[in-house]
Chain A
């Protein structure tokens, strides 16, 4: 087998590994969405696992694509999702709390209560 063949096969294998890892995290996020108990814990499971999941899947596609402009665009997508996803999660959580969604009974300490009441009054 010639050298370029080996390199491209290795790249394919690595990209498949990345794709599978990404799919695994997506799956874990979805299972978490079903198993968790309230809005806030569900946000934990979905937003974070999805952020890593999409990054891994897109890195896999980037490796498959090689050094082209498409790869750079994919990289930009990863960066933008990494910046916007936590912001969206924060907005959802804060909105839910101020709308009146109570954290579940298992919640030990709630230090945000006073602040929220102060903001709503």
Chain B
């Protein structure tokens, strides 16, 4: 993957801004000593490890791309929060049911997501929505999922969530 100097600079700048805002919020001390110390630390961290936070993937050519991807990610987060609440109520209903109607099983399915970040996002999303738990992902991008009930596993296999994750990172392959 070709990386040019302009991408590096944008990456360092963005990481610096995020780190510095975090520093300011967490320290809550706004005098000149603490802020300049924070700026120095943020700059060092941004210089050495910006590529861990801002991935130099093929889709990022302009700052607008980063903004658009972030916007999509926020939309997805809100959808996910809705799912989390919806299916949490589902699990609570199972737990409080006197008969405890569970039918656990471990299923697997293949995904065609482009890169590691997308795979990890899907894995965490699956675990966050109750009733499904990511056990493992292997080299062939096969997910192994533990489901609490058969119905929840079937819902997952419909692939709605995967399509949404793919839509965020769509341009990233």
Which residue of A35, A97, A106 is within 8 Å of B135 (Cβ)? Answer: A97
CB proximity to B under 8 Å, residues A27-44: 28-29, 31-32, 35-38, 40-41, 43-44
Contact A76 B25, beta carbon cutoff 8 Å: yes
Contact A93 B135, beta carbon cutoff 8 Å: yes
Complex Cα spacing A82 to B164, Å: 19
The 0/1 profile, CB within 8 Å of A marked 1, for residues 99-111 of chain B is 0101111111000
Distance (whole angstroms) from the CB of A11 to the closest CB of chain B: 21
Distance (whole angstroms) from the CB of A113 to the closest CB of chain B: 8
| Contact A104 B92, CB 8 Å, known A86-B127, A112-B144 | no
Contact B136 A48, beta carbon cutoff 8 Å: no
What is the interface size of chain B, counting residues whose CB is below 8 A from a CB of the partner? 36
A72 proximal to B (CB < 8 A): yes
Contact B108 A90, beta carbon cutoff 8 Å: no
Contact A103 B106, beta carbon cutoff 8 Å: yes
Excluding A36-B102, A51-B128, A86-B125, 6 further A-B contacts by CB distance (< 8 Å) are: A28-B96, A31-B95, A90-B124, A90-B127, A106-B104, A115-B136
**Hey, which bits of chain A sit against chain B, CB under 8 A?**
24-25, 28-29, 31-32, 35-38, 40-41, 43-45, 47-49, 51-52, 69, 72-73, 76, 82-83, 85-87, 89-90, 93-94, 97, 103-104, 106-113, 115
